[in-house]
Amino acid sequence: MNGKNFQPRRGNLGNKPHPCNNPRDHNPAAARNGGERPPQSRIVAATENFRAPWVQLKYFTFNPNVYPRFVGATSGNIAAGDTVSVYDKDGNAFGHGFYNAGANIPLRIFSHDKEPLPPDFFEKTIRRAIALRTEMLHLPATTDAFRVVHGDADGLNGLVVDKYGDVLSVEVFSFAVYRRIKSWLPIFHDALGTMRETIQLVKGFGSMENVRGCDDSHTAGLREVKIRENGVRFVVDFENGHKTGFFCDQRDNRKRLAQFCAGARVLDLCCYTGGFSLAAKVLGGAADVVGVDLDETAVAQAKRNANLNQARVNFVHSDAFTYARQMQANGELFDVVVLDPPKLIDGRDDYESGFAKYHDLNKVALPLVKKGGLFVTNSCSGLLKAEDFESLVIRVAHRLGCRLQILDRTGPGLDHPVISNYPEGRYLKTLWAIVL
């Protein structure tokens, strides 16, 4: 999310990789289950009736991400990233997925249709995702920056695509998608009228997918693009930006914030490139706005975005903790405080330390809100449940001797849907509260 005061740890998740340019050299037996081969299940149905290549589940799971211990037998001779028919432990047809035996997530299920996949399955899936944003949500009427594909929620496990002006910003999480993305791009461009693209592999892609030689790719000369969002203009910097370059998931929350900002003094902690800051100033008519971020490059971009909108915002390069404590020491108070840190819980091993950082950040930010002022605090860690995040914030408030009049709990825009069998996809949580 906005701001980059912390960089979550990522461990070495992979074994010895195999070449991307020759995926069929991969030995499926090298797949891991905590360093061991995936367990093999007893086949209870005649495998000659299975559509090859196939994978059978050892245990039932409806989660689209199937980890090694849930994988039973396979047809063998499956190249990394191949499409496979999936069968349950009783031998019944269960769906279709991508299989990469050596990956941390060897089986990614993208369909629970029991019939064979039609040749145009992926094209129809892509066009359906685009139609949701353009024909049902009518997003192009208010912005030219929105999420086009949101992974599992759009039936495309391992893929995230954002549209920024005439550019597609693509983030790839699986080798199966990496194998296919170049053939899918013309479908996106045709439906969206885009012309350029940047393809980025998620951090740690090689070890996560047990591959090597896979690289990002970009349209020649592509560095940045200008976008508009509810009347505010931004420059998306693909060379220095985080994730897909911009955080359009906060679009609706930025617009909503503006209605509380007329004549207000606003503090935007972990401001990144100034999304909330500029919404407060340009859309909301705030009297004074301060945006703070530790990422010097992001602060420079935020200043550029302010100039693009002819808006006067005081952007400060500083650690959020240091700045907030200094403001407390100075006795400074704000009518509105927004806290939108980056993802602080990257995995289960990071949960306790990340939870503590959320606690400490809210503890230094909340005292800067005037009595009767608005506190907007966010978490974009999918592993942190909404009720646990809310409890954390409330506990901090009570220990500080104040109460919160909670107005609402929101999340990302409708272009970031969540599929019912993957609740972990509900990552962004925004709590709106008046400080009493």
Instruction: Name residue 63's amino acid.
Output: N
Please tell me the predicted confidence (pLDDT) of residue 16: 41
Tell me the pairing of strands 159-164 and 145-150: antiparallel
Please tell me the predicted confidence (pLDDT) of residue 243: 66
Query: Which residues 6+ apart lie within 8 Å of 183 measured at CB?
Result: none
Please tell me the predicted confidence (pLDDT) of residue 20: 57
Q: How far is CA 75 from CA 37, 41, 45, 52, 86, in A?
A: 15, 12, 13, 7, 11
Please tell me the predicted confidence (pLDDT) of residue 27: 38
- Residuewise pLDDT in 10s, the chain (436 residues): 444 333 333 333 333 444 454 443 333 333 333 333 444 444 445 677 899 999 999 999 999 999 999 999 999 899 999 999 999 999 999 999 999 999 999 999 999 999 999 999 999 999 999 999 999 999 999 999 999 999 999 999 999 999 999 999 999 999 999 999 999 999 999 999 999 999 999 999 999 999 999 999 999 999 999 999 999 999 999 888 766 678 999 999 999 999 999 999 999 999 999 999 999 999 999 999 999 999 999 999 999 999 999 999 999 999 999 999 999 999 999 999 999 999 999 888 999 999 999 999 999 999 999 999 999 999 999 999 999 999 999 999 999 999 999 999 999 999 999 999 998 888 999 999 999 9
What number of other Cβ atoms are within 10 A of residue 242's Cβ? 19
Q: Using CA atoms, how far apart are residues 80 and 179, in angstroms rounded to an integer? A: 9
Query: Which residues 6+ apart lie within 8 Å of 340 measured at CB?
Result: 1, 2, 3, 250, 268, 269, 270, 271, 272, 276, 376, 377, 378
Q: Using CA atoms, how far apart are residues 243 and 337, in angstroms rounded to an integer? A: 25
Joined together, the tokens standing for residue 227 give: 């976008």
Q: How far is CA 376 from CA 212, 332, 340, 406, in A?
A: 42, 18, 8, 10
DSSP class per residue in 63-74: -SEE-GGGEEEE
Please tell me the predicted confidence (pLDDT) of residue 49: 87
Query: Which residues 6+ apart lie within 8 Å of 284 measured at CB?
Result: 257, 258, 259, 260, 261, 262, 264, 266
Give residue for tokens 């035996």. Answer: 101
Please tell me the predicted confidence (pLDDT) of residue 420: 94
> Computed over its alpha carbons, how large is the radius of gyration of the chain?
23
Tell me the pairing of strands 93-99 and 107-111: antiparallel
User: Counting Cβ atoms within 10 Å, is residue 27 exposed (0-12), middle (13-18) or buried (19+)?
Assistant: exposed
Give residue for tokens 């349950």. Answer: 88
Please tell me the predicted confidence (pLDDT) of residue 47: 76
Q: How far is CA 331 from CA 265, 326, 369, in A?
A: 14, 9, 11
- pTM of the complete model: 0.87
Residues belonging to the chain: 436
Q: Using CA atoms, how far apart are residues 327 and 189, in angstroms rounded to an integer? A: 48
User: Nearest-CA neighbor of 181 among 289, 262, 105, 81?
Assistant: 81
Query: Which residues 6+ apart lie within 8 Å of 401 measured at CB?
Result: none
By the 8 A CB rule, do 384 and 355 touch? yes
Please tell me the predicted confidence (pLDDT) of residue 45: 54
Instruction: Name residue 198's amino acid.
Output: T
By the 8 A CB rule, do 139 and 415 touch? yes
Edge-to-edge strands of the sheet including 93-99? 65-66, 107-111, 93-99, 82-87, 54-57, 71-74
